[in-house]
Homo-oligomer: A and B are copies of this chain.
Amino acid sequence: MTGGGPLLGKRLPHLMYGGDYNPDQWPEEVWSEDVRLMREAGVNLVSLGIFAWSRLEPKEGTFNFEWLDRIMNMLHEGGVSVDLATATASPPPWLSHAHPEMLPVLADGVRLWPGGRQHYCPSSPIYRDATRRLVDALATRYAKHPALVMWHVGNEYACHVPACYCDVSAHAFREWLKQRYGSLEELNRAWGTDFWSQRYSSWEEILPPRRTPTWPNPTQQLDFMRFSSDELLECYEIERKVLTERTPGIPVTTNFMRFFKPLDYWKWAEREDIVSDDVYQDPLDPEAGMRSAMAADLMRSLGRGRPWILMEQSPNRVNWREVNVPKAPGQMRLWSFQAVARGADGVLFFQWRQSRAGAEKFHSAMVPHGPPQSSPTWREVVRLGGELRALDAVCGSRIRADVAILLDWESWWALELPSKPSNRIQQLEQLEAYYRPFFEANVTADFARPTDDLSGYKLVVAPSLYLVSDAAAANL
């Protein structure tokens, strides 16, 4: 390990500790108790207001920041820094009610409706304009707030809606293809459209790979995956651009989800100041430790070796598996330190206080239902906070690996398209098959792109690298 300085510099020269904090879901009477408990637990950072849009902008263009002012101030006074959310992950009901054409549509034409979250077409100008407006108002108001140390854009992009097949998306897909191919002739060549009489005679004929009688064109599918990752990245970029202009010194992140197929995290990480990750291991999985190690190594690699943040983990059980077993005593602590050992400079949770209502009311939190003092989870949270406080020296450490494992999202997408010699070859299983021996032998591995400078590694492995660019082939 070699030092590189704390991620947030002087703003927060410690290992970060805390969680998602949604005061908008609680009466203000609870807030002061929250801050008091945060101090008790050693919390120094919260991700604030990730789903607060409908509270921040209760009607189109009408903003209500007073409550956020109050909690920002309270947190600052309590010594808790803020990773302020842009609150754009879940549009408020009034937006999709006024503009139902912004709702996403599946490949079979089924429209997704509000009632959950993430109900937006990534290409929707309605959604994009509304996020730009909200983020601009937020950034303007809190640019100088002393609690603000980081921006948290959106939330788990693509986790429920990785792609949209509506007419708006079809139009955006065509524009993206024009950029990629320049001419229709070149697209016809690249897609092999002479097969099955698919040759296009005008751009307008091109569609997303909606439900077809049989397998759609594989390159059409692959390009649509590239496009869908890029469209969401564009959503992120719209917000980031506003933030960079309004608050130049404040780093920007969005929370990743380990090895998440729909988004090309290499491209995404290039647009982030800090890489952060959400890790929800199944306590029943005997290889959970190996898998979280692998995710940690990916995050460190995405950040080009810089420290990263474990942005979300659960203090105890989650709510979304068929059966949600609790973590064993000490398991949360173990996995927290594993993240730090593999380069994380922050350990945060979803979430600070367990929900009273909604789809996640059975998801554990740092402050559980009932009195915290009688909760083993709370005691583990407090203990971990204390332990991390003693590790300032670790903050900013860098890790060096001699092994690189190649991972390329486009190759992943292409590998798992149908109509192959075998559909059973899956990228993630292949990665694990190669990672497992290194993990068991205590050999640290980085992940790398095929086009990266690999000269510093003693060993490079390429599990099922199905598709390589000319540049990657030359590099290898």
Contact = CB atoms under 8 A, between A and B. Distances in A.
Query: Would you call the interface of chain A mostly helix, strand, loop, or mixed?
Result: loop
B201 A58 contact: yes
A55 B196 CA distance: 10
A361 B195 CA distance: 10
Given A196-B90, A213-B119, A191 B357 contact: yes
Interface string A340-362: 00000000000000011111111
A412 interface: no
A425 to B, nearest CB: 10
A55 B213 contact: no
A138 to B, nearest CB: 14
B214 A359 contact: yes
A240 interface: no
A154 interface: no
A319 interface: yes
Given A117-B196, A160-B214, 7 more contacts: A54-B193, A54-B197, A93-B200, A93-B201, A195-B357, A319-B419, A323-B424
Interface string A148-181: 0000000000011100000000000000000000
Interface of A: 22, 24-25, 51-55, 58-59, 87, 89-94, 97, 104, 108-119, 159-161, 191-202, 204-207, 209-220, 317, 319-320, 322-324, 355-362, 418-424
A110 B217 contact: no
A241 B216 CA distance: 32
Contacts of A220: 115
A94 B201 contact: yes
Contact of A90 (B55, B111, B198, B204): B198
A201 B55 contact: no
A114 B218 CA distance: 13
Contacts of A322: 422-424
